[in-house]
Amino acid sequence: MASIRLQDLRRRLYVKAKADKDWRFWGLYVHVAKPETLRDAYDLAKRNNGAPGIDGVTFEAIEVAGVDAFLAQLRDELVARTYRPLRNRRVEIPKDDGKKIRVLGIPAIRDRVVQGALKRRLREELAKLDLRLNEAKSRVVDLTQGEAFGFLGFTLRRLRSTRGRWWVQLAPALKKRTALLRKLQEVFRRWRSQPVRRVIAVINPILRGWVNYFRVGNAARCFSIVRSWVERKVRRHMMRARGRRGFGWKRWSRAWLHTTLGLFADYRVQYWGRA
């Protein structure tokens, strides 16, 4: 629970925002570095406990040296804009089968405190807009440590090019692609006895909407998989209607599927920075 002083600060900000709709809180960063905000964030981090980060500093060590001194130093760094987070400590955890591992990134306690303080003021600002922060899905991700995160159906991760330059890949999430193929699979199953043109009339709007949403960033590889999968299903549908096996590779060309049957074919990707 927030301290009385922090509650008072929140109340004063709320009253000011309500009284003057045009007021802009340009100094909100300052409130993150307030002693009461950092103290609440520290108390929360301590209740959650957890292992130390890459610096090896534990809660016990902080308590011995003095929490006030620890928070004062952290506050000074924030106010002076010299604060820099440490790298996460990487811990390998075996998965259930014992053959694979997953890597956890454990931030230092000082960084957990700052993250808690930022939770980013953000919770209070969203509350003004009658929005709620999804605590279960909100976390800090370190892309430099090989981690990735999902956002609005996309997966973002940091990769290195063949020239040695780092860049952020934005691609459709695997679960979104899987959901699309399952939906299309159900259409092919239900319309199994129908003419192929009717099936295409049903799946084209699904494909068009999905591709238009995901055609930004780095979706080329994903689109290639989807396109090949759909074409194979259409070919199989036509061969099955003829009581034949296979996919009719020699009977129908890819161009014929799109030009004559009208199967959706616009899988162009709109890359960043291009009109």
Q: What is the pLDDT of residues 15-66, one digit of tens each?
A: 776 777 676 655 566 778 888 888 988 988 888 888 888 999 999 999 999 9
Q: Per-residue pLDDT for 274 more than 50?
A: no
DSSP letters for 10-40: HHHHHHHHHH-TT---TTHHHHHTSHHHHHH
Residue 249: CB atoms within 10 Å: 10
Average pLDDT of the segment spanning 237-253:
90
For 143-196, write each residue's pLDDT tens digit: 666 677 777 788 888 777 778 888 777 888 888 899 999 999 999 999 888 999
**What pLDDT, on the 0 to 100 scale, is given for residue 96?**
65
Average pLDDT of the segment spanning 239-245:
90
Q: Which two tokens stand for residue 148?
A: 């990735």
Q: Which two tokens stand for residue 43?
A: 């108390």
**Ramachandran angles phi, psi of 166, nearest 5°:** -85, 140
**What pLDDT, on the 0 to 100 scale, is given for residue 237?**
92
Determine the Cα–Cα distance for residues 273 and 217; give it in Å rounded to an integer: 10
Total length of the chain: 275
Prediction pTM value: 0.52
**What pLDDT, on the 0 to 100 scale, is given for residue 140?**
64
Report yes or no: 51 and 15 within 8 Å, Cβ to Cβ. no
Average pLDDT, the chain: 81
**What pLDDT, on the 0 to 100 scale, is given for residue 129?**
57
Burial 129-138 (b: 16+ CB within 10 A, else e): eeeeeeeeee
The enclosing H or E element of 77 equals helix 67-79
Comparison of pLDDT for 141 and 245, the residue scoring more = 245
Q: Per-residue pLDDT for 207 more than 70?
A: yes
DSSP letters for 39-60: HHHHHHHHHH-----TT---HH
Give the residue among 219, 221, 184 at the shortest CA–CA distance from 205: 184
**What pLDDT, on the 0 to 100 scale, is given for residue 1?**
45
Report yes or no: 155 and 148 within 8 Å, Cβ to Cβ. yes
Q: Per-residue pLDDT for 3 more than 60?
A: no
pLDDT band at 81; cut points 50, 70, 90: confident
Q: Per-residue pLDDT for 197 more than 90?
A: yes
pLDDT band at 5; cut points 50, 70, 90: low
**Ramachandran angles phi, psi of 242, nearest 5°:** -95, 5
For 83-141, write each residue's pLDDT tens digit: 988 888 888 877 766 677 777 788 899 999 988 887 766 666 656 656 565 666 666 66
Cα–Cα–Cα angle for 133, 136, 137, rounded to 5 degrees: 75
Determine the Cα–Cα distance for residues 69 and 62; give it in Å rounded to an integer: 9
**Sole residue written with tokens 């290195």:** 160
Q: Which two tokens stand for residue 97?
A: 């089968």
Task: Report CA torsion sign: 210, 212, 214, 218.
Answer: positive
Q: Is 102 helix (H, G, I), strand (E, B) or coil?
A: strand
Average pLDDT of the segment spanning 252-265:
92
**What pLDDT, on the 0 to 100 scale, is given for residue 135?**
60
Q: How far is CA 163 from the centre of its chain?
A: 26
Q: Which two tokens stand for residue 50?
A: 């957890």
Q: How far is CA 83 from the centre of its chain?
A: 25
Our CA dihedral for 137, 143, 147, 152, rounded to 10 degrees, sits at: 40
**Sole residue written with tokens 């290639």:** 224
**What pLDDT, on the 0 to 100 scale, is given for residue 164?**
80
Average pLDDT of the segment spanning 256-268:
91
